[in-house]
Amino acid sequence: MLHSLSWFAFAPLIPDAIKQDLKLTPAQIGNSNVVALCATLLVRVLAGPLIDQYGPRKVMAGLLFLGAIPSGLAGTVYTANGLYVIRFFIGILGGTFVPCQAWTTVFFDKNVVGTANALAGGWGNAGGGVTFAVMIALYNGLLSSGLASKVAWRVAFAIVPVPLLLLVATSVMVFGTDHPAGKWSDRHMAIAHGNDSPKLEQVPEDGRTLARPDESKDDPEKKGGLADVQVHVTLPPLEDSNMVSELDYAVNEPLTLELALKIISTPLTWLPALAYFTTFGYELAIDANLANVLLSLYQSKTFGQTKAGYIASIFGLLNIFARPLGGHFGDLVYRKWGVPGKKYLLIFFGVSQGLLSIGLGMYLDSHHHPSLAVVIVLLVILAIANEAANGVNFSLVPHCNPCSNGFMSGIVGGMGNFGGIVYAMVFRFQPVPVGKAFWISGIIAMAINLLISVIRVPLV
């Protein structure tokens, strides 16, 4: 959550304070939003292989330390180009999502991993909403204490984000645990000690065989003992898919070029990746643009930057329960319908998000003075569908290429950021009428989610 205090800190202050100080045009504000997401895209993709090699704890701490440096330099910005540079490097903090999800995945069983991932991710994304409230309150407090606006927003960055980032990064390194087995280098020990789940072996059409390998063949001391016994369980044949998840016994392996190409060329990889493109990408664009949109619609003597920021914070704050709710629903449907249940739940929420975004856009364009109450209600319902989809997504990710969970999380997380760039470009180049960007984004979400529904997934 705390990474958001810097990553999202510009969004609530740009519509007024930063815009006036740096004399920014709407196009420059849009450009800065895109630049910020580009860095996060690169970091998320690179973080995946690093996690598989060194573990999520070290990668998490490293990103927090690196992100704290440009956060402390935010007050040195005096031009639009300077803003682009600072926001690019602060975007490093957005990459912390990947080690976060990879970390929870290795600690929790597949029956609850959706809830665990969604809870961690949801509270992290809720930081975007918290940041709106914190930065606006801090900025207003500094103004009340006598600081000029051009000084207050700069001081706000130094007071809160930087110390907290350094504190959390240090705590992660000192108190964090790499893996249930202890050190990341010992992650294979759980399987070596016999805690792995039996592997699934394919047999003819009359069924499948579940068996634990006979280790006595390689260890003479075990011959004649219990190691000679194999347990075979015949399962009903798979009706339309021969894919079976290896999640029960998978261990993160260092990434090789051969493995990377295999993962990238697997359709299963792109199911959650493209879905996350539409949902998390949309959320990022909304977080960056919503306050500005509201201010353009309702600006008056009684409606300024503060009120627009507080209302916009609702979208992010709903992550506290909406994303965990999606992950929990994913775990519930998994117990009855397996991985296909998670897939279709993900698509349901993704299509719902698209429909709601289209509806919001059409409402804004069809009313000269749209009701603020109606807009808020539509945004709340839209946020719940959007964030629940994000929660379901990372309940599905652990079932996809589980031996490279870090790389897989990086691909999906990176695609989410790529989606954020695409949606941000929509808002950048379609500023008027206001609703147009919303209904275009909705069409994109619906189309992609319907297209990926044909991709097959493991049954368990």
Residue 420 falls inside a structural domain: yes
**Phi, psi (5° rounding) for residue 235?**
-110, 155
From first to last of its 460 residues, what are the pLDDT tens digits of the chain? 677 778 878 888 888 889 999 999 988 988 998 898 888 899 999 999 999 899 999 999 999 999 999 988 988 999 999 999 999 999 999 899 899 988 988 888 878 888 899 988 888 778 777 888 888 899 999 999 999 999 999 998 888 888 889 999 999 999 999 888 888 887 777 554 444 443 434 334 444 444 444 444 444 444 444 344 443 434 334 344 444 556 555 567 788 889 899 999 999 999 999 999 999 999 999 988 998 899 999 999 899 888 998 899 899 899 999 999 999 999 999 999 999 999 999 999 999 999 999 999 999 999 889 999 999 999 999 999 999 999 999 999 988 888 888 899 999 999 999 999 999 999 988 877 889 999 999 999 999 999 999 999 988 7
Mark whether 86 and 229 lie in a shared domain. Answer: no
Say if residues 425 and 418 touch (Cβ distance below 8 Å). no
Q: Give the CA dihedral 43, 46, 52, 56, nearest 10 degrees.
A: -10
**247, part of any domain:** no
The CATH number of the domain holding residue 363 is 1.20.1250.20
* Domain co-membership, 286 together with 334: yes
The reported pLDDT for the residue numbered 57 is 93
What is the enclosing helix (H) or strand (E) of 221? Answer: none
CA distance 292 to 384: 21
Report yes or no on 215 lying in a domain: yes
Whether residues 110 and 206 share a domain: the answer is no
Whole-number Å distance between alpha carbons of 353 and 389: 8
181 and 197 in a single domain? The answer is: no
Site of tokens 């990408």? 281
User: What does the CA dihedral 316, 322, 328, 329 come to, rounded to 10 degrees?
Assistant: -130
Interatomic CA distance for residues 369 and 300, integer angstroms: 13
Same-domain pairing of 415 and 371: yes
DSSP-derived secondary structure letter, 403: G
What domain range is 363 assigned to?
4-185+254-454
Please say whether the beta carbons of 94 and 417 come within 8 A.
yes
Name the strand (E) or helix (H) holding 26: helix 26-54
Please tell me whether residue 234 adopts helix, strand or coil conformation.
strand
Domain-located, residue 245:
no
Contacts of 17 (CB under 8 A, 6+ apart): 139, 149, 150, 152, 153, 305
User: Is the same domain home to 171 and 204?
Assistant: no
Cα gap 8→34, rounded to integer Å: 13
Say what the pLDDT of residue 128 is. 74
One DSSP character per residue, 112-154 reads THHHHHHHHHHHHHHHHHHHHHHHHHHHHHHHHTT--HHHHHH
Q: pLDDT for 299-342, tens place per residue?
A: 998 998 889 988 998 998 999 999 999 999 999 999 999 999 99
Task: For residue 417, give Cα distances in angstroms to 34, 255, 261.
Answer: 10, 22, 21
319 vs 33: CA distance, rounded Å = 21
Assess whether 417 and 427 both reside in one domain. Answer: yes
pTM of the full structure: 0.80
pLDDT, residue 227, reads: 43
55 found inside a domain: yes
CA distance 164 to 93: 13
206, 235, 264: which is the final residue of a domain?
A: 235
What's the sign of the alpha-carbon dihedral 154, 136, 7, 112? positive
**Number of domains within the chain:** 2
Same domain assignment for residues 122 and 218: no
Same domain, 181 and 204: no
Q: 3-state SS string over 151-196?
A: HHHHHHHHHCHHHHHHHHHHHHHHHCCCECCECHHHCCHHHHCCCC
For residue 249, being part of any structural domain is answered with: no
Alpha helices in 367-398 (DSSP H): 372-396
Q: Are 238 and 456 in contact, with CB atoms under 8 Å apart?
A: no
Contact 93, 270 (CB under 8 A): no
